[in-house]
Amino acid sequence: MRYLPHTEAEIREMLDIIGVDRMSDLFTDIPAAIQLDRPLNLPQGLSEPEVWAHMLRLAAMNRELCPASRFLGAGSYQHYIPAAVPQLAMRSEFFTAYTPYQPEISQGTLQAIFEFQTLICQLTGMDVANASLYDGASGLAEAVLMAGRAARKREVLISAGAHPHYRQAVQTYVQHQGYKLIEVPLAPDGRTDVAALSSLISPATAAVILQNPNFYGIVEQLDATAAIKGNALFICVVTDAMTLGLLKPPGECGADIVVGEAQAFGNAVSLGGPYVGFLAVRQNLVRNLPGRLVGQTVDKAGRRGFVLTLSTREQHIRREKATSNICTNQGLCALMASIHMAMLGRAGARETASQCLQKAHYLHSKLTAVPGVKALYSAPFFHEFVIELDRPAHGILAELTKKQILGGLPLARLGGADNQVLVCVTEVNTRQAMDEYAAAIAEALAREVAAHV
């Protein structure tokens, strides 16, 4: 009964007050035909020691790989998280009421969100950022809806270099709202084809979407896109916010909306979530922002305080005036991102991004020197790149896994060729691990060749 706090006497007392004889009487309004007339098909409860033993057996089925030997990216990035980040996030100031609607009792939550907004603006070069969103994919979908509201148009151009899952999320959001999504192809070098983009832009275009670096790791031509976008809004997607430690902020390249994923700061990969989306805009778009904004003010005594400044959800205003019904920012995730950003500062973020860049180019040169491996694209890349093997990638990657190396994402899973692999490198990948990766893939390819002779 450890996890069931009510005794039989307490339950009896509550039933007496309600005026029913038994628990089943509470369900008499539900038709008998749809009531379950048997116990749930669940195993019997376990004692705490038995639960621990069961969880340990399940955990033993997982394969733990050294962080340095993981070369997976594609929207989920492994960066080093200092121990101070989770420790500071546990401080009691942040463990206030969940909802920030009552500023007098949730100053810790409100200040954390305010700092997050400020840091995102500094990182992206934009004027205003909201209090975060669920993740980058839903954030991009909200950005598309926002652009449609602001421009009063429904045509959106989206680069083929945007993350496939982000594009799917956008399609899900807009498929019944009259939007027309037009894909802009990539040029042979891996960048979005600017000439094709220019030919597709029309007076009906509400927004142009580019990801930078794009899904294949290529650094896009943001300035060139901004120069040809005309009256359309320019949405820049960033799936690894750590890259902004080195790359020119999208706001300085003409972006009107910057949206993406801040998981790289303070949040572990965690098998896919929870993550922390961000959305930053120009000042003139602030009234079209989804979610909410936290602002700084002073109380009657002149002391600094924080309040919800703008919240355009239907529970706060008339439904027909609401910009979006999205509400819950990933508060704890945003807090940890803020702590990590503040700890790194400009110099630390730049150093981390620089290490990612340099290490990726080191591994790229090592891999492309292996017989049977070549680069797919020639444009400048950041910390991800695509290699092509002279064999199907599935078997080669399986061989690497046997050596405790996660060699990358086989692009066949996302519609690419079966010999293409997306490789990611961050600051946690050591030179030794990269050398071992190159040696292992060379050995695996050589074994394949020998098997076919």
**pLDDT for the residue 3:** 66
pLDDT tens, residue by residue, 27-67: 889 998 998 888 889 988 888 899 999 999 999 998 777 88
Q: Which two tokens stand for residue 49?
A: 């020691």
pLDDT tens, residue by residue, 257-286: 999 999 999 999 987 778 999 999 999 999
pLDDT tens, residue by residue, 16-29: 999 999 988 998 89
Confidence of residue 366 (pLDDT cuts 50, 70, 90): very high
Same domain, 435 and 332: no
pLDDT higher than threshold 70 for residue 327? no
pLDDT higher than threshold 80 for residue 311? no
31 part of a folded domain: no
pLDDT higher than threshold 90 for residue 208? yes
Same domain, 362 and 284: no
**pLDDT for the residue 309:** 86
User: Higher pLDDT residue, 315 or 173?
Assistant: 173
Nearest-angstrom CA–CA distance, 423 and 401: 14
Q: Which of 276, 308, 342 is the last residue of a domain?
A: 342
Confidence of residue 428 (pLDDT cuts 50, 70, 90): very high
pLDDT higher than threshold 70 for residue 313? no
pLDDT tens, residue by residue, 375-412: 999 999 999 999 999 999 999 999 999 999 999 999 99
Average pLDDT over residues 190-201: 97
Same domain, 317 and 354: no
Mention every residue, 6+ apart, whose C-beta is less than 8 A from residue 286.
127, 128, 293, 310
Domain with 383 in it: 67-77+345-451
Confidence of residue 96 (pLDDT cuts 50, 70, 90): low
pLDDT higher than threshold 70 for residue 1? no
27 part of a folded domain: no
Task: Give yes or no for a cis peptide into 274 (omega within 30° of 0).
Answer: yes
110 part of a folded domain: yes
pLDDT higher than threshold 90 for residue 436? yes
Same domain, 333 and 353: no
430 part of a folded domain: yes
pLDDT higher than threshold 70 for residue 420? yes
167 part of a folded domain: yes
Q: Which of 307, 326, 342 is the last residue of a domain?
A: 342
Nearest CA to 158 among 206, 219, 192, 208? 208
Same domain, 180 and 300: yes
Q: Which of 288, 318, 342 is the last residue of a domain?
A: 342
pLDDT higher than threshold 60 for residue 453? no
pLDDT higher than threshold 60 for residue 314? no
Burial of 7 (0-12, 13-18, 19+ CB in 10 A): exposed
Same domain, 252 and 127: yes
432 part of a folded domain: yes
pLDDT tens, residue by residue, 211-247: 999 999 999 999 999 999 999 999 999 999 999 999 9
The percent of residues above 90 in pLDDT, for the chain, comes to: 75
Mention every residue, 6+ apart, whose C-beta is less than 8 A from residue 425.
71, 356, 359, 360, 362, 363, 383, 384, 434
143 part of a folded domain: yes
Same domain, 254 and 317: yes
**pLDDT for the residue 131:** 87
pLDDT higher than threshold 90 for residue 187? yes
Same domain, 311 and 326: yes
CATH number at residue 392: 3.90.1150.10
Same domain, 336 and 395: no
Domain count, the chain: 2
Average pLDDT over residues 70-84: 95
pLDDT higher than threshold 70 for residue 319? no
CATH number at residue 108: 3.40.640.10
Same domain, 333 and 370: no
pLDDT higher than threshold 80 for residue 330? no
Average pLDDT of the chain to the nearest whole number? 91
Same domain, 362 and 414: yes
User: 155, 180 in Cβ contact below 8 A?
Assistant: yes
**pLDDT for the residue 159:** 98
186 part of a folded domain: yes
Same domain, 325 and 374: no
**pLDDT for the residue 272:** 77
**pLDDT for the residue 316:** 60
